[in-house]
Chain A
Amino acid sequence: MSAIILFMAGIAAIAGWWLSQQRLTAKPWLEEGLMVDFREESTSSLPPAKIGLGVFLAVVGSLFALFISAYSMRMNMVDWRALPVPRLLWFNTGVLVTSSIALQWAYMAARRNDIDGVMIGLCAGGASAVTFLVGQLLAWRQLNAAGYFLASNPANSFFYLITAVHGLHLMGGLAALGRTTAKVWRGAEATQVRLSTELCAIYWHFLLLVWLVLLGLLTGWTDDFLDICRRLLT
C-alpha cells in the first residue's frame, strides 16, 4: 500500500498548503462586517471548471495509485511471471506524447486567438489519441497471439486491466475533446474555447504522466523503487 500512502501524503501536502492560505486561525466570532478584501478572502479567481478538473485528477490519481499498490503487492507472490512488453508500446508512448504536444499547441493557439491553430491542434491531438488507443489494442492482440492471456498469469491480468483503465480514461477525454472540436467547428471564437482547450490539454498531460508511470511499472524499471517502498513499510 506504499504507492497510495505516498500519493495521499502528496494530496495531504497540497491540502495542507491550501488550508494554510485560508486563515484557519481566524476568530470568526470576533470578526464582524465585510472582510477587507473579500475577493481574495473568499474564493480563488480560477474558474470552477478548472478546480473541478483538478479535484477529478486527484480522484483519478488515487485510482491509479491504488492499482499500483495492488500491483506491487501482488507481484511479490510466487506465481508472478513478468510478461515481455511489446515493442509497440514505445511507438504508442511516442504517439501519446505527440497528442499531448498537439493539445498544448491548441491551447497556445487559443491564447493567441488563432482559431485555425486551435482546430489543427485539437484534430491532431484527437487523431493521435485515437492512434494510441488503436496501438494499445494491437499490443493486446500481439500479447494474446503470443499466448499471454488475461487469466493465465497475474502479471498479464494486471497488464490488461491497467492499460484498459488508462484507455477508458483517455476515451472519456476524447468525448470532451470532441465537444470542444465541435464547438470550434460550429464557428466559436478562440476566447470561447480557451478554457475547454486548456482543460483538455491539462487532462492529456496528466494521462501522459500516468502512462509514463504505468509504463515504468509494466516494464519493470520501477521494481527497485517499489522494493525500497515495500521495505520502508515492513
Chain B
Amino acid sequence: MVDVPFDTVVAGVPPAEVGEVELYHPRSWWTRYVFSQDAKVIAIQYSITAMSIGMVALVLSWLMRLQLGFPGTFSFIDANQYLQLITMHGMIMVIYLLTALFLGGFGNYLIPLMVGARDMVFPYVNMLSYWVYLLAVVVLASTFFMPGGPTGAGWTLYPPQAILSGTPGQDWGIVLMLASLILFIIGFTMGGLNYVVTVLQGRTRGMTLMRLPLTVWGIFTATVMALLAFPALFVASVMLLLDRLLGTSFFMPTLVEMGQLTKYGGGSPILFQHLFWFFGHPEVYIVALPAFGIISDLISVHARKNIFGYRMMVWAIVGIGALSFVVWAHHMYVSGMNPYFGFFFATTTLIIAIPTAIKVYNWVLTLWRGDIHLTVPMLFALAFIVTFVNGGLTGLFLGNVVVDVPLSDTMFVVAHFHMVMGIAPIMAVFGGIYHWYPKVTGRMLNEALGRFHFWVSFLGAYAVFFPMHYLGLLGRPRRYHDIGETAFIPASAHDLNAFMSVAALIVGFAQLVFLFNLIWSLFKGKEAGGNPWGAASLEWQTPQTPPGHGNWGKELPIVYRWAYDYSVPGATRDFVPQNEPPAGLSAQGSHP
C-alpha cells in the first residue's frame, strides 16, 4: 500500500498536469476495493455501511410501531425491550446513518469531484476514518448480542438513569454504546479534517469559494460544526463511562438504588445535559445543512434555472452554522433552569428561523417560472421543502418556553423532530441518491420503481407523523410502551395508533423496493452517459463515468463560471458547464 507522504501533497494551487507520482495508486484488489484510499470507494463503503445499519434501525421502528399500534398483542416486546428499541433506533438514525451518510458518503464522493480535485488531501487518514467508523458500527451492533442487550437509556443517555440498574442494558449495553460513540467521533474527526482541508486547499484553478456548488457549502459548514461539536459528546461519553466503570461522580448525584445508597454522590446530571445538547443541537444542523445544499442543487438542475439568491444561500448556511451553537439549552426548558436563560435561548432559537426562511423562500423563488421537470430527484426535493417547512413550524412552537413546557415529553416532540430531522433529511438523501447514482454507477435508477418509492414514502411518512402531532396535543407521553386506559386519551386515539403502525409498515416495505432498485439498476439500469440531467457543476464533466481513478484524466479542469448557469439567454444548450470557457478563450484544460 502506498500512501502519499504529507510533504509531497501538492501545496496550494495544483498545477494543470499532475505527475503520476503524486497520486496514490492501488496495487492490488485489496487496496483497490477494500483498503482503498480513493475517496469514491470510501464514499461507497460509508454509504453501504450506513444504509445497512439504517435498515436495522428501520426494523426497530417497525417493532416499536407494532407495540404502539397493537399494545399487548406481541408478547416478545416488553417495556424494557421497548426502551431498547427507541434508544437504538434514535442513536443509529441520527449518528450512524444520517451523519455518516451525509458527510462520509455524500461528502467523500462529491467534495473532490465538485471542487475539481483528484482526491481528498489526506487519503490515508480518509481510509482510516472509514475503518474506525465501521468498528464503531460493529461495537454498537454487538450490544444486541450482549447479556442484558443494548442500552435502553433513550438516545440522549441522560444520567443518572442511563447507568443505573433499573435501565435495560446496564451491564454491557451502555458501556459499549459509549465506547462506540467515542470511536465514531475519532473516526469522524479523521474524515472531517479531510473534507475541510480539501475544500480549503484542494480546489482547482478558478474555483473560488463563491463558485462552489451549495452542496459543498452545506457539507463544508456542517463538517466544521461537527468537528467543533462532537468533542462535547466525546467529553460527555468519556465522563459517563468513568462514572459507570470506575465509580467517579461527574454526573451522578447522591441517590438510593433498590433501597441501597449508591457509591455516587454530588454529581450534576444537568452538566451532562449541557454537554450533550451542546453537541446535540448543532447535530440537527449537521444533518440539515448538507440536505439544504443537496436540495439547492437538485432544484436548480431539475427546474433548469439558476439558484435564486446564491449569496444569500451561502450567508444563510454560515449564519445557521454559527447560530446553532447558541441555542442548545432549548432542549432543557424543563430541567429547572433560570427563566432568563430560557428567554435567551428562546430568542436565539427563533432567530434561526430567519436564515432558514431565507433558504425556503429562495428555493421557492428558484422554482418560480422554472422549467420544472418532475423527475424522481425533483419529487424528493419538493417533498423535502414541504416537510422541512412543516417540521420547522412546529419547531417555532416548541422553541417558546411557555408552549414547550406542556408539550415537552409528548408525542408532539417526536412528531416534530421526525418531520424536521428524520423525514426531511431522508428525502434529501433519497433525492441525492437518485440524482447522483448515474454518476456513481453509469446507470439510471429505474424510474417507475423510483416513483413508487417516492409516493409511498412521502404519503406514508405523513400518514405516520401528521396524526402523531395530534396525539401529542392530547397529551400522550413519549417513551411509554403502553399507556393502557388513560382518562385523557380517547379510544379513537388507539385506532389512530393502529393506523399509523400500518402506514409505518408499508413505508418500511417501500424502502425494500428502493434497495431492490439500487441493486437491480446496477446491472439492468438504463445507460446514463456522462451527464444525464444536463447539469452544469463539475462532477458531471468528468472524462469517464463512473469517474476513473484520479477523477480528471491527465489535466485538472479549469473553472470559468459558477455552478448554476442554466437557461442562459443566447447559449446553445440550456446549461453551461462550469469548465466551459467563455467565448474568445481557448478551452484550456477542459473536457468536452
Contacts and interface: CB of A to CB of B under 8 A. Distances in A.
Given A32-B561, A55-B227, A157-B242, A44 B325 contact: no
A90 B311 CA distance: 53
Interface stretch (A16-24, A96-104, A121-129, A136-144): A16-24
Given A45-B11, A51-B197, A55-B193, A66 B231 contact: yes
Interface in B558-583: 558, 560-562, 564-565, 581-582
A27 B311 contact: yes
A35 interface: yes
B206 A35 contact: yes
Contacts of B247: 151
Interface residues of B, number: 68
Given A154-B249, A154-B266, A47 B11 contact: yes
Contacts of B274: 1, 69, 73
Contacts of B207: 42
B13 A39 contact: yes
Contact of A48 (B121, B314, B326, B582): B121
Contacts of A35: 206, 208
Interface in A130-160: 150-151, 154, 157-158
Nearest to A47: B11
A140 to B, nearest CB: 14
B459 interface: no
B122 interface: yes
B200 interface: yes
Contact of A74 (B197, B238, B250): B250
A120 B224 CA distance: 37
Contacts of A47: 6-7, 9, 11-12, 201
A28 B211 CA distance: 6
B268 A74 contact: yes
Interface stretch (A4-12, A206-214, A215-223): A4-12
Contacts of A163: none
Interface of B: 6-7, 9, 11-13, 121-122, 189, 192-193, 196-197, 200-211, 224, 227-228, 231-232, 234-235, 238-239, 242, 246-250, 263, 265-268, 271, 274-275, 278, 306, 310-311, 314-315, 318, 322, 325-326, 338, 558, 560-562, 564-565, 581-582, 585
Interface of A: 1, 4-5, 8, 11-12, 15, 19, 22-29, 31-35, 38-39, 41-49, 51-52, 55-56, 58-59, 62-63, 66-67, 69-70, 73-74, 77-80, 150-151, 154, 157-158, 161, 165, 192-193, 195-196, 234
Given A38-B208, A63-B234, 6 more contacts: A22-B210, A32-B561, A48-B197, A55-B193, A161-B239, A234-B338
